[in-house]
Structure 1
Amino acid sequence: MTDSTGSASGRAPAVALTGITKRFPGVVANSDVHLTVRSGEVHALCGENGAGKSTLMKILYGMQAPDEGTIEVNGSPVRFKSPAEAIKAGIGMVHQHFMLADNLTVLENVVLGAEDLHGIGKRARARVRELAGATGLDVDPDTLVERLGVADRQRVEILKVLYRGARIVILDEPTAVLVPQEVAELFDTLRAMRADGYTFLFISHKLDEVRAIADTVTVIRRGTTVGTVDPSTVSSRQLAEMMVGSQLPSPETRTSTVTDREVLRVENLTLRTPDGRALLDSLDLVVRAGEVLGVAGVEGNGQTELVETIMGMRRAATGRILLGGKDVTRSGTLARREAGIGYIPEDRTRHGLLLTQPLWANRILGHQTRRPAARGALLDVAGARLDTERIVEEFDVRTPGIDVAAASLSGGNQQKLVVGRELSGNPVLLIASHPTRGVDVGAQAAIWDHIRAARADGLAVLLVSADLDELIGLSDSIKVMLRGRFVADADPATVTPEDLGSAMTGAGEVDAEGHLVVDRTEEGDKG
C-alpha cells in the first residue's frame, strides 16, 4: 500500500528501463534513457513533442525493439517482441484515441480478442462486472458503447487492459477530451486503483494535472532523460523549463480587437441523421473581424458537425451560412476555402495532412487553385516549395527539409505546418478545431501567438477546444454546446474551467438572456 501521501518510494520497481537507445535513419529517438517506475505509483512522463516519449512507450509495450539498453519488469529482464508478450507480462496501454467499436456492447468490446481468457459467456460477464468496480464503470455490460459518454468510454478502455491481466497501465494523454469534473473522477479512480497495487505510467502535456496526480515525474528532452522529480517540490513553470527550456506559456489575451464587421453568420442551422435525429438544432452565431468566438462542449455534442457543416463537408437540413455577407450555404468546400476560410481540423492525420507526402506537397492541400500553389490552371510546384520554406521558417517547423514526409515530423511540428498553411493566403475566417491538442508547451505557445497575431490583424476565428484554459484565454466570447444546441453564453473575463465544465454537462445555471451564471460567493471574482 502507498502511504498517506501516495508515495511508493519504498516499493520495488515495477518497470526499470536502463540505457535505452533507439535509432532511426537520420535521427536518434532515444539516447541512454533511464526510467524507474515503482510498484503502486502513478509515474508521469513529460516531454515536448519529438522528445522520444512515444518511442519509449512503444519499446516498453513491445511495438519496437531497442537498439541498446535493458528492460526489467518486476525485477526480471524481458525483451518483448510484440504487444502480446507485453500484455502477458502484465503491461497494458490505453491509447489517446479510443479504440472501441461503437456498435458493440461494453462486454463485447472488452472480450474481443481475449476470448480464450474467460470465454464469452457467464465467466467473462462476471469478470467484467468484477473489474468494472475498480474503474468506476457503473453501466450494464450489455450497453452499446455508442451510448456512453467520453469518460465512460475511457473507463471501458482501462477495463479492456485490466481484463487482459494488466497491473502496469500506460495512459497516453488520458485527460485530453475530459472536462474538469471528469478529470477529477479519473484521478479518483487512479488513486483507488493505485491503493490496490496497480501501477500507472501517465503521459501528459498538462503540467498542472501531472502535479495533481503523479507521485513521481520523469522529464525527457531531445530523446534523453533530463531528470526525475517529486511533483510536490516543483512548479508547473519549473517542469516546463525542464521540458522545453522556457517558461510555461499562457493563452491569455487581454486587449480586445473585436470590430463591428461580420465575417461569419450562421442562421437557424439544423443537421439531421438519416433517421431524422437532430445533430445540430437551430443554431445561430456571428463571428466578427478581430474576434475569437470559442465553442465549449463535451466531445460528441455537435462541435465536429458544426465545423464540418460550415466547411461544406456536411449538408445542412435547414439554415443559412453567410461569409462576408455572401450566402455560401450551397457552395462546396473548395469554393468556401477560395472565399477565405482557413481550416485547422481536429484530426490532422485524417483531414489535414497526407502523411506519406513531402511537406511541400502538403502545403498545396486546400490551396490547389490559388497562389502560390497554383498559377492559372496548373500547380506551381516551385511556388509551393518556396512558400513551404517560408512556413518552416516563420512557424518554427523543425524538420531536416521540405522534402521529408509529413509522417517523419513530431505531432507538434505537423500541427505547426498545418497552422502555417491555414494562416497563409490572408484568410478572412479561421476555423480552428482543437488547434493545440496533443502538442507540447513550446508548440502550444507558438500556435497561440500566431492566432493572437492574426486576430489583431482582423482575422475572425471560430475556436473549438477541449482545453478550457485555452478556450477561456484566447476567446473574446464563448458559447456552450450540449446535444447539438447552444445552451449558454459565457464571458471569458469571469468564467472558470469549472463553470464551463458544469454548463457542458448540463449542470450550469443560465439567466434569462442565456448567459451562464457565475457564482463567486466563495472564491471572489476572477481577475
Structure 2
Amino acid sequence: MEHVIEMLNIRKEFPGIVANDNITLQVKKGEIHALLGENGAGKSTLMNVLFGLYQPEKGEIKVKGNPVKITNPNIANDLGIGMVHQHFMLVDTFTVTENIVLGKEPKALGRIDIKKAEKDVREISEKYGLSVDPQAKISEISVGMQQRVEILKTLYRGAEILIFDEPTAVLTPQEIKELIQIMKNLINEGKSIILITHKLKEIMEVCDRVTVIRKGKGIGTLDVSETNPIELASLMVGREVTFKTDKIDAVPKENVLEIKDLTVKDSRGVSVVNNLNLDVRAGEIVGIAGVDGNGQSELIEAITGLMKAESGSIKLAGKDILNMKPRKITESGIGHIPQDRHKHGLVLDFPIGENMVLQTYYQKPFSKNGVLNYKAIYQKAKTLIQEFDVRTPSEFTPARALSGGNQQKAIIGREVDRDPELLIAAQPTRGLDVGAIEFIHKRLIEQRDNGKAVLLISFELDEIMNVSDRIAVIYEGKIIEIVDPKTTTEQELGLLMAGSKRVKAGEQTNG
C-alpha cells in the first residue's frame, strides 16, 4: 500500500475565511513529509482536520486506502494517527508516566498499575532513543523533554502516523539536533511523519517530500532532493525572498545603553547575570548570542524593569534607570519586543486595536481625564495595521485570532511607532516564516539607520550573524567576548557560546 494517508480536495471554512481551499495531501509509508507554508496559510487547520478536531466542509480522507470519517481525536488515535501539538497538552503537577497513560491507564485489580505503566513507558522510550525519566515531574523537566513526553504519548497509544506541529519552535539548537535523530529513529521503526514547519533548513535536512500551501491553497508537492531553499521560499510566499539581509555598514555614534557590573539573582537567590558589562550605541545593532538559560531573559527583564537587579548600573542616554518602574523605563525611551509575545506582549482577549496602544493608552489623544477615546485608539490602530502589514479581518478582531507572525508585526508596530532611543528585540522572529522574518529584519535595520540603538537577542545563529553589527556572546551570565559578524563563523560562535575562549594565533585552545 503506497499511501498511508490521503487527504483529497479538503475544504475547511470558518466565518468569513476559507482556511483550506481544495487541498490534497498524500503521505507515503515510511517518509517524513513536510507541510510548508507561511503563518496563517492553513497548515495547522489541515492537520486539525486529519486529527478530528475540525470537520471539513468537503473532501475525503483515506487511511491505508480505506475511506474514513474522523469525527474526533479518539477515532484518529484508533486509526493510528497521533499529533504532537505546538503548545503541549501536559499536566504540570503529574509525572511523565502519569501524563503518558492518562485516559489509557493499565489496571490491576481495579487500580492503576503505575509500575507497569512506568515499565511500558521506559521500554518505548528506549526503543526510539527518547531517554525520558518516567518518574520525573513535568514542571521540573526542560521544554525539549516535555516535547518527548508528547511524542511518547502518541506512541503509547499505538500511533503509526505522527503529526509534528512546528516542533522546533521552542527548542535550542542542540535539542533540534536530537529531535531530528528521534524522527529518523521513528522512520527506521516503520512510522510515517508529517512535519508542519516553515524552516527550510530542517526540510532540506530531514524530509523526503514537501507539500507547499499558500493562502489556503495547495501549490504542489516536490521531492526534497530535487528542490532548494530558494525555490521553496518563493513557492511558499509567492515571490522571491532574500535570505541575505541588505544593509549598509553601521555608523555608530554615542552610547545609548551602558551596563556596568550588572548582577541579577533569580527567585532562588542564584546569580544568573554576573557582573555583566555591555554598551549599545546609536545607529548600531548589537546581537546577543548564547545558549538559552545563560542569563539572556534576566538581562532583558532587568533593563526593562520587569525584574529587580541586585547591583550595578544601567544607563540610558546617561541617566541611570536601574530598578525604576517599567512604565518609567519605557517612557525614558525604551521599546521592548518581548520574547514571549503571549505572556508579555499582548492581552490576547483584547481586540488587536487596543493592543496597539498598551504603552500609550493613558496619554493624549487616547485618553482624557482617565476616559479612553476609542475613536482615536482605533484610528491609530488602523494606521499601524496598514503600515506594518498586520493581516487581520479588522482592528476589532481579538489578538488571539491572529497568526503568530501577525501578532508579532502588531507588537513591532506598537514599539517602533513610539520612536524609542533603544529598541530591545528578544526572539523577534521566533516561530515565524521567511516572509515575516524578512519584514521584521528590515524594520530593525530601518531603526538602526534612523540613528536608534537596537539590542537583538536570538537563539537563531543565522539571524544574529545576518542582522547584527557587533555580536556579544553571553555565557553563564557574563559577556565573554564581542565579535564582528563579518569575520566570525557559526562554528567559532558555537564554541564561544559553549564557554570556550577564543584562540589567538599560536595559542593552545582550552575546552
Please give the TM-score of this superposition, normalised by the length of structure 1. Answer: 0.88
* Match of residue 180, structure 2, among 175, 184, 187: 187
Identify the range of structure 1 (52-61 vs 354-363) with the bigger mean alpha-carbon deviation: 354-363
1:350-369 C-alpha deviation (Å, 9 max, x unpaired)? 22222332232111112223
Q: Which runs of 4+ in 1 moved over 6 A?
A: none
Q: Given that residues 340 and 429 in structure 1 are in contact (C-alpha distance below 8 angstroms), is that contact kept between their aligned partners in structure 2?
A: yes
Equivalent residue for 1:39, pick from 14, 19, 29: 29
Structure 2 match to 1:127:
120
Q: Tell me the matched-pair count.
A: 505
- Which of 153, 166, 191 is the matching residue for 1:173? 166
1:66 aligns with 2:59: no
Structure 2 residue identity aligned to 1:17: M
For 1:64 and 1:93, locate their aligned partners in 2 and report how far apart those are by CA, in whole Å.
14
Instruction: From 479, 488, 502, give the equivalent of 1:510.
Output: 502
Alignment match, 1:360: 353
Q: Secondary structure at the match of 2:8?
A: strand
Q: CA deviation at 1:24?
A: 1.0
Amino acid at match of 2:208: D
- Taking a change above 3 Å as real, the CA distance of residues 343 and 315 of structure 1, as seen in their structure-2 partners, is same
CA distance in 1, matches of 2:30, 2:118: 27
Q: CA deviation at 1:428?
A: 0.8
Partner of residue 462 from structure 1, selected from 449, 455, 459: 455
TM-fit CA distance, 1:43:
0.3
Select between 333-342 and 302-311 the one with higher mean Cα deviation.
Answer: 302-311
Contact 1:177–1:298 under 8 Å retained in 2: no
Residue number among 418, 424, 448 corresponding to 1:431 in the alignment:
424
1:153 CA displacement: 3.9
1:423 counterpart SS class: helix
2:39 pairs, out of 49, 53, 56, with 49
**Distance in 1 of aligned mates of 2:403 and 2:437:** 13
* Structure 1 residues 393 and 164: CA distance shift in structure 2, 3 A: same
Alignment match, 2:212: 219
**Residues 156-214 of structure 1: per-residue CA shift (max 9 Å, x gap):** 33223222222211112222244444433322222222121111111111112212111
CA gap 1:98/1:294 in 2 versus in 1, 3 angstroms: farther
- What is the alpha-carbon distance in structure 2 between the residues aligned to residue 23 and residue 162 of structure 1? 31
1:313 aligns with: 306
Q: Distance in 2 between matches of 1:211 and 1:249?
A: 18
1:412 equivalent in structure 2? 405
Higher deviation after alignment, 140-149 or 324-333: 140-149
The counterpart of 2:149, out of the listed 131, 151, 156, is 156
- CA positional deviation for 1:56: 0.8
Distance (whole Å) between structure 2 residues aligned to residue 503 and residue 169 of structure 1: 36
* Corresponding residue for residue 492 of structure 1: 485
Distance in 2 (CA, whole Å) between partners of 1:482 and 1:102 is 29
Cα distance 1:39–1:117, how it changes in 2: closer, same or farther (>3 A)?
A: farther
Corresponding residue SS for 2:356: helix
Return the letter of the residue paired with 1:447: I
Q: Residues 483, 70 of structure 1: CA spacing in aligned structure 2 closer, same or farther, 3 A cutoff?
A: farther
Aligned mates of 2:227, 2:107 — CA distance in 1: 44
Trace 1:1-40 onto structure 2 (pairs within 5 A).
12-40=2-30
- Contact (CA 8 Å) 1:179, 1:501: kept in 2 or not? no
Which residue number corresponds to residue 232 of structure 2? 239
Q: 1:301 to 1:61 in 2, by over 3 A?
A: farther
Q: Secondary structure at the match of 2:154?
A: helix
Residue 334 of structure 1 aligns to which amino acid in structure 2? R
Q: CA deviation at 1:259?
A: 1.9
Question: Separation in 2 of the partners of 1:367 and 1:258?
Answer: 31
Distance 1:326 1:377, change over 3 A: farther
Instruction: Letter of the 1:318 partner, please give it.
Output: S
Supply the distance in 2 between the matched residues of 1:399 and 1:37 (Cα, whole angstroms): 32
Amino acid at match of 1:323: L
2:72 is aligned to 82
**Are the counterparts in 2 of residues 17 and 36 from structure 1 also a CA contact under 8 Å?**
yes
Instruction: Indicate whether 1:266 and 2:259 are aligned.
Output: yes
TM-score (norm: length of structure 2): 0.91
- 5 Å-filtered alignment, 1:242-391, equals 242-252=235-245, 254-371=247-364, 373-374=366-367, 378-391=371-384
Identical-residue share of aligned pairs (%) = 44
Name stretches of at least 5 consecutive residues in structure 2 with no aligned partner: none
2: CA distance between counterparts of 1:44 and 1:90?
A: 19
Deviation, structure 1 residue 45: 0.4
Go from structure 1 to structure 2 and tell me whether the alpha carbon gap of 1:387 and 1:348 turns closer, same or farther (over 3 Å shift): same
2:72 partner letter: S
Aligned amino acid, residue 502 of structure 2: V
* Structure 1 residue runs without a partner (length 5+): 1-10, 519-527
CA contact (8 A) 1:17 1:35 kept: yes
CA distance in 2, matches of 1:257, 1:164: 55
The one-letter amino acid of 1:65's match is Q
